[in-house]
Structure 1
Amino acid sequence: MRIAKHEPKQVRFGLDRFLEDPSRRGKRYGLATNPSATTSTGVPAWKALIQHGLGPACLFGPEHGFRGAAQDAVQVEDEVFQGIPAYSLYGRRLEPEPWMLEPLDAVVFDMQDVGCRYYTYLYTLAYLMKSCAAVGTPLIVLDRPNPIGGVKIEGSPIAREHESFVGGYGLVHRYGMTIGEYAEYLRGEYFPACRLEVVPLEGWDRRQPWVETSLPWPLTSPNLPTLSCAELYPGTCLVEGTWLSEGRGTARPFEIIGAPFIDGELLREELARLDLPGLVFMSLFFRPTASKFKDELCEGVLISITDREEVRSLDTGIAIIHTIHRLYPHEFKWREDWDDPSISFFDRLAGGPGLRQMIDRGAPLGECIAFAHEGCDAFLRVRQKYLLYGEDSRP
């Protein structure tokens, strides 16, 4: 007896639609991209443009570089790739210089984001938009699905005084927009002079999980290898603001959390009592090969998602940090910012010192979570104006 196979709904990237449009020919493009951007058959964006006679005049690379091989927070230098100048936008400059844009008919932006405000590709796009608006060069954004969905919203809008390259432009932690919708939001709220065009997706429903799109999942950055990593990232990335391991240097970054001083089974028991929806915690030992506690034996937990629709990523991250802080108040430490050691990097990610201060003074977990979502409804009202694929969203 043959079991009927469920056929996922076919979705096409903005890149696929851009390539088949004959009106795009004969123009001089700059291409902001990295290996996360491919056609629906896996051809890299830069190569696909060349194959279709749209060979880019120059390339722009974000954090991790055009090649996507650099680790987090590592400055990347300019280079020449197959005879094409590749300018780094994560090194001595964060935005292109006017002379790079002036000869171009347009800049094409194509990168896969992960739906979370910490991801620096968002700010590379914002800085590109600002520069293109100043010079008058059109900007074309090729849309891609939000891999963690376009419905669920988590967190509070970041205030202007706390903006940085890991949080800005009034975004909440999990904002529920595609990169194209985010570009429309940026133009509408911040850069009205930008000559923006978004090439939309074909066939995408904002409630549609990535696994139902028939699209290949890329390595969006060196430490987000899987969809489950991306799903947890809005919450477990907060662990980067502490001296706990967020799993870098393991096969499951942002799914493994721990430290040498933690009793993994005790932590599992305490987290299980919280009955957080959509996931299960499992205790484990691990030894990171890079980053915090390199080559040291650690204990902690592995987070396993059992129901993607129910899991609350931000709440989960806060709950883990709150619990470890409670269990190990003397060993737990907040991590300082790379550029300014007088500032907590946790505050950069959280959007200010308020959440850290509440955890330090022993505020109940429920109060900490409620604080982290203040202002979400106000963001939803602004966001709604820029949605391209329907309006079904919930905080």
Structure 2
Amino acid sequence: MPIPLPLLVGLLTLAAVVPARPRDPADDFLQALRARCGQAFEGRLINPQPTDSAMLGQRLVMHVRECGDTVRVPFHVGDNRSRTWVFTRTADGVRLKHDHRHEDGSADAVTQYGGEARPGGSAARMAFAADSLTKAMIPAARTNVWTVDVTTSTFVYQLEREGTSRRFRVEFDLRTPVPPPPAPWGASRDLPDGQPTAKRGNVIPGIEVLLADSLHLIRGKRVGLLTNHSGRDRKGTSTVDLLFNAPGVKLTALYGPEHGIRGEAKAGEKVGSGVDARTGVTVHSLYGAVRVPTPDMLKDIDVLIYDIQDVGARVYTYQWTLALTAASAGKPIIILDRPNPIRADRVEGNILDLAYRSLVGQHAVALRYGLTPGELMRYLVGTKALNADITVIPMQQYTRDLWFDETGLPRVNPSPNLRSLDAELLYPGTVFFEGTNATEGRGTDAPFTLIGADYLTDHAAVASALNALRMPGVRFDTTTRTIEAGYKFGGTTIPMIKVVVTDRNAVRPVEVGIRMLRAFYVAHPKEFSWRGQALNGPNRRRSIDLLAGTDALANAVEKGTIDALLEGWNADAARFRARIQPYLLYPVGTR
């Protein structure tokens, strides 16, 4: 019997507010900012000093403009849009930086000053002392302390130069939002009402860089290519055809991962070997009887090239096909780099427990790992997790803060069931439903954004309970779909919840997926269940445990301890973010 809505909301709210151990105030402080993502507020100076005279009589507006691991808050003084406060979650807490730009977008000579939060901060107040960069850049600011207070009604930014009389304080009324101002100088695009408007960039993918200036790496060699339909240049020409026709290059073998060279097979469907019809080159399947090339498959190549569009999630299989191949091939590997479509400056979720390694997670990386394919392999090799000879051909004109639709690269679905950028963003969380008897939306028009089950007859109540949690960047609507034959609930019409992305810069997909699991479990404790052991998993582990890289997720969903789980996973993400820094290839950008 479905649980009544008031009780369901109460149970979910209880799970959301009673953690098993104290929360880190850094997370609560940033969440207080994220809760106002997209909103702008007017402020006033308090006890201004003569040095603040340029601000007197000017309209002061703050705008909570970006709300991921980094929260960016432009501070506009009249028509001057040069200032942005930048709050970043670090392994130890929160960092505050001041981003100052000229009207043409270029950086001011004095910018990126600030510091780390002092110990003893709270969810409502953080104090940041000047760091060594600030002291070197602005000697007079060596004793600066910036204090930021966030309450339900007020945001206060204060500067105090200890040992001097210098003070600056501005207060903003959070009870009365105002229309968002224009983008700050140097921003890559406007975000009206918190929503992104995609720009057209000019990112040059690794395949074009290879052909333009690095062809010497493969000229005169027998080349194998691990790719699929997503390996292409900006004109849409397949990497298979580009290398086959490249002067001095002999393409001798192709290797197809899950979904095959042309990306047409269903998820989990075995893919056979054969011959590429266009080039006549032999195609070896790595998603059939074998998952890594055998010595016989590699005997006719001198170097192996990899070119596949990733989705930035550990549960995606392509990067692990590459890692397994690199570990066993005994051949040089060249990786033609491509964007992380859901931003390469975001890290979320737990680090995989190696006891649960499988093709949906081979190495100890975060669930949303914030790396490009080339950077991921650099990290694995650099940390000795992988023994391989790799070369990365980097992209040109790429920055970490870009969404895929901002790169200028033509979109192609990276796999059959990831049909939109919103689906790719939600995938690191809604993919968990693959490990349940509910459906993750395969067999519908919008997989990974539609979640349902035939027993979810109270889907309106479940959606209301999820909306009551006020997770940033998403809304939960109700719908029904007739599921295509061959999938869970195939041939039947079932109630479903539609996950609507309202602010992609604020949404935390892993948390969305976990809280949805708990909502289904609370509403239908008798009907909801985990799927059985994965046929291709080690030690016949449950599918949900392989997807999560741990058995802790299922246990937390059942016991109502998901807040404690999320706290631990957030700590994992912070540790992983720190570990990957030496292996990054691209700048953050000027968003």
TM-score normalised over the length of structure 2: 0.63
* 1:11 matched residue in structure 2: 203
**How far apart, CA to CA, are the structure 2 residues paired with 1:245 and 1:204?**
36
Q: In structure 1, which of residues 46, 54, 67 is the aligned counterpart of residue 240 of structure 2?
A: 46
Note if contact 2:198-2:406 (Cα within 8 Å) is conserved in structure 1: no
1:333 aligns with 529
C-alpha deviation, 1:193, in angstroms: 4.7
What's the counterpart of residue 322 of structure 2?
125
Q: Deviations over 1:188-240 (max 9, x none)?
A: 12366522110000000001111211111111111111111100000000111
* Aligned partner (choices 408, 411, 416) of residue 214 of structure 1: 408
Per-residue deviation, residues 120-152 of structure 1 (Å, max 9, x unmatched): 1011110111123xx3x2110000000001111
Tell whether the 8 Å contact from 1:359 to 1:368 is kept in structure 2 after alignment: no
Q: Which residue of the partner structure matches residue 559 of structure 2?
A: 361
When the two chains are superposed, the root-mean-square deviation of aligned CA atoms in Å is 2.0
Tell me the secondary structure at the aligned position of residue 349 of structure 2: coil
Residues 36-62 of structure 1: per-residue CA shift (max 9 Å, x gap): 111011111101212323352110011
Counterpart residue type for residue 343 of structure 2: G
Q: Structure 1 residue 294 and structure 2 residue 508: aligned?
A: no
* Alignment pair present for 1:279 and 2:474: yes
Change (3 A) 1:61 1:268: same
Query: Could you tell me which amino acid in structure 2 is paired with residue 87 of structure 1?
Result: H
Secondary structure of the corresponding residue to residue 580 of structure 2? helix
1:355/1:372 contact within 8 Å kept = no
CA 210–391 in structure 1, closer or farther in 2 if over 3 Å, else same: closer
Aligned to 2:513: 317
1:173 is matched with 367
- Please, which moves more after superposition, 288-297 or 336-345? 336-345
1:223 maps to what in 2?
Answer: 417
Q: How far 1:6 moved relative to its partner?
A: 8.6
Query: Quick check: 1:388 aligned with 2:585?
Result: yes
Higher mean C-alpha displacement, 246-255 vs 94-103: 94-103
More strand by share: 2
| Deviation per residue, 1:160-191 (Å, 9 max, x gap) | 11111111211111000000101111221236
Within 2, Cα distance between the matches of 1:165 and 1:6?
Answer: 33
Q: Which amino acid aligns with 1:314?
A: V
Q: Does the aligned pair in 2 maintain the 1:384–1:391 contact within 8 Å? A: no
1:379 paired to 2:576: yes
Structure 1 runs (4+) greater than 4 angstroms displaced = none
Over 3 Å counting, the alpha-carbon distance change for 1:91 and 1:281 in structure 2 is same
Aligned to 1:91: 288
Q: Does 1:141 align with 2:300?
A: no
Aligned twin of 1:56: 251
Going from structure 1 to structure 2, the CA distance change for 1:44 and 1:328 (only over 3 Å counts) comes to same
- The aligned amino acid for 1:260 is D
Q: Which has the larger radius of gyration?
A: 2
* Of 444, 447, 454, the match for 1:250: 444
Between the aligned partners of 1:305 and 1:193, the Cα distance in structure 2 is: 39
Classify the secondary structure of the residue corresponding to 1:155: strand
* SS in structure 1 at match of 2:495: strand
* 1:69, distance to aligned residue in structure 2 (A): 1.3
Deviations 1:247-295 (A, max 9, x none): 0000100000011111221121111101010111111011110411011
Alignment match, 2:164: none
Query: How many residues are matched?
Result: 385
1:235 corresponds to which of 394, 412, 429: 429
Give TM-score, length-normalised by structure 1: 0.93
Moved more, 366-375 or 284-293: 366-375
For 2:198 and 2:523, the matched residues in 1 are separated by 46
Identity over aligned pairs, percent: 35
The offset of 1:245, in angstroms, is 0.9
Separation (CA, whole Å) in 2 of partners of 1:100 and 1:167: 24
Alignment of 1:30 with 2:228, yes or no, is: no
Where in structure 2 are there 5+ consecutive unaligned residues?
1-196
Write the distance in 2 (CA, Å) between the matches of 1:379 and 1:360.
Answer: 27
- Select the structure with the greater relative contact order (CA < 8 A; seq sep ≥ 6): 1
Alignment of 1:67 onto 2:262: yes
CA deviation profile, 1:32-87 (whole Å, cap 9, x unmatched): 00001110111111012123233521100111112211111122121111321100
Per-residue Cα deviation, 1:318-365 (whole angstroms, up to 9, x for no partner):
0111011001111111111331696321111111111211211233x4
Structure 1 contact 129–191 (Cα < 8 Å) conserved: no
Measure, in 2, the Cα distance between the counterparts of 1:78 and 1:190: 32
Taking a change above 3 Å as real, the CA distance of residues 172 and 320 of structure 1, as seen in their structure-2 partners, is same
Q: Which residue of 2 aligns with 1:111?
A: 308
Give yes or no for contact 1:46–1:55 (8 Å, CA) kept in 2.
no
